[in-house]
């Protein structure tokens, strides 16, 4: 069975560029083109949800010039490519701390989300300024507030309720997590949500990732036996 939900840590843009004697930002530009191809292919394959780690809460600590370039790339990506997808019936959501972004970007994110929240065919989730630990803490804070105000009872706190307070709230957990660039770590991506995900690591840098590489990851997933702690 193909995975219903794929989450991708799109890593290796900087090294891809450096290998070619280009500035790191050149890798981000090509990486944005890769994303377009991969989204179209995932949709064609019948993947229902795809979550993309595009910018982590820790990535704010990069040099200002790189962060500025990334912000401008997001701006043009949201305005052109993502807006186009929404016209084609794709649902778009954002997870992460969007208050850190410029007001025009926040406005655009809110609008795209609201405009497409009723669509169910293909769901693109962009993780921007996202950190799983922060997300778990914000969920905990809101649960505590709701207990304090009497909206929920302590006894009703269980894994289902907790998950509903995460920014991934209504979204099913990823079945497959892909990380490019040869790094085999999670880097504060969906910690809670990947409890039972399958992992696929490839040494391919994100700008070189393509339809064939996605097919390889899906084929690898199809050969796995998921047991969820039970006996198969
Ligand atoms: C991933 O590529 C993109 C972002 C984190 C924004 P990197 O920029 O991390 O590229 P490497 O890992 O340094 O090669
Ligand atoms: C993870 O990549 C974040 C994104 C791909 C957006 P990083 O390049 O920031 O992760 P580390 O620093 O290698 O762990
Ligand atoms: Mg990296």
Euclidean distance between CA atoms 146 and 139, whole angstroms: 11
Mean pLDDT of the chain: 97
Distance 210 CA to ligand 2 centre (A): 19
Tokens encoding 65: 């010039």
- What percentage of the chain has pLDDT greater than the value 90? 99
Asked if 52 contacts 125 with a C-beta cutoff of 8 angstroms, the reply is: yes
Distance 54 CA to ligand 2 centre (A): 9
Each domain of the chain, given as residue ranges in start order, spans 5-133+174-222
Into which CATH architecture does domain 5-133+174-222 fall?
A: 3-Layer(aba) Sandwich (3.40)
172 catalytic per annotation: no
The mean pLDDT of 150-157, rounded to a whole number, is 98
The mean pLDDT of 86-104, rounded to a whole number, is 96
Residue 127's nearest CA partner among 57, 213, 49 is: 57
The mean pLDDT of 60-76, rounded to a whole number, is 97
13 lines ligand 1 (CB under 6 A): yes
Q: Which residues line ligand 2 (CB under 6 A)?
A: 9-11, 53-56, 59, 183, 185, 187
Question: What pLDDT, on the 0 to 100 scale, is given for residue 71?
Answer: 98
Question: What pLDDT, on the 0 to 100 scale, is given for residue 5?
Answer: 98
Whole-model pTM? 0.98
Is the pLDDT at 190 greater than 90, yes or no?
yes
| Ligand 2 atom with minimal separation from the 11 CA | 5
Q: Which of 13, 59, 72, 158 is catalytic?
A: 59
Question: What pLDDT, on the 0 to 100 scale, is given for residue 115?
Answer: 95
Tokens encoding 215: 């097919």
Is the pLDDT at 153 greater than 90, yes or no?
yes
Question: What pLDDT, on the 0 to 100 scale, is given for residue 232?
Answer: 80
Question: What pLDDT, on the 0 to 100 scale, is given for residue 24?
Answer: 97
Q: Could you report the per-residue pLDDT of 97-114, keeping only the tens digit for each?
A: 999 999 999 999 999 999
The mean pLDDT of 67-96, rounded to a whole number, is 96
110 catalytic per annotation: no
Question: What pLDDT, on the 0 to 100 scale, is given for residue 119?
Answer: 95
Longest dimension (CA), the chain: 59
- What DSSP letter does each residue of the chain carry, written as one string? ---SEEEEE---HHHHHHHTT--HHHHHHHHHHHHHHHHHHHHHHT--EEEEEEEEGGGGGS-HHHHHHHHHHHHHIIIIIIHHHHHTT-EEEEES-GGGS-HHHHHHHHHHHHHHTT--S-EEEEEEEE-HHHHHHHHHHHHHHHHHTTSS-GGG-SHHHHHHHSTTTTSPPPSEEEE-TT----TTSSTTTTTT-EEEE--S-GGG--HHHHHHHHHHHHT----TTS--
Is the pLDDT at 229 greater than 90, yes or no?
yes
């Amino acid at each position: 069975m193909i995975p219903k939900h794929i989450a991708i840590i799109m890593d290796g843009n900087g090294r891809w560029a450096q290998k070619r004697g280009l500035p790191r930002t050149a890798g981000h530009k090509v990486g944005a083109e890769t994303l377009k191809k991969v989204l179209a292919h995932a949709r064609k394959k019948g993947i229902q949800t795809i979550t993309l780690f595009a910018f982590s809460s820790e990535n704010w600590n990069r040099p200002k010039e790189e962060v500025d370039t990334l912000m401008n790339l997001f701006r043009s990506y949201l305005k052109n490519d993502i807006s186009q997808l929404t016209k084609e019936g794709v649902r778009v959501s954002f997870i992460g701390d969007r208050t850190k972004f410029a007001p025009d970007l926040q406005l655009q994110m809110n609008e795209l989300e609201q405009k497409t929240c009723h669509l169910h065919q293909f769901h693109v989730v962009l993780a921007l300024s996202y950190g799983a630990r922060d997300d778990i803490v914000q969920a905990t804070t809101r649960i505590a507030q709701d207990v304090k105000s009497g909206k929920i009872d302590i006894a009703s706190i269980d894994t289902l309720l907790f998950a509903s307070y995460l920014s991934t709230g209504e979204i099913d957990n990823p079945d497959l997590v892909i990380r490019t660039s040869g790094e085999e770590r999670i880097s504060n991506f969906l910690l809670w949500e990947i409890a039972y995900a399958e992992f696929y690591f490839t040494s391919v840098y994100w700008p070189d990732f393509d339809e064939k590489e996605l097919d390889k990851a899906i084929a690898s997933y199809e050969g796995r036996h998921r047991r969820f702690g039970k006996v198969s």
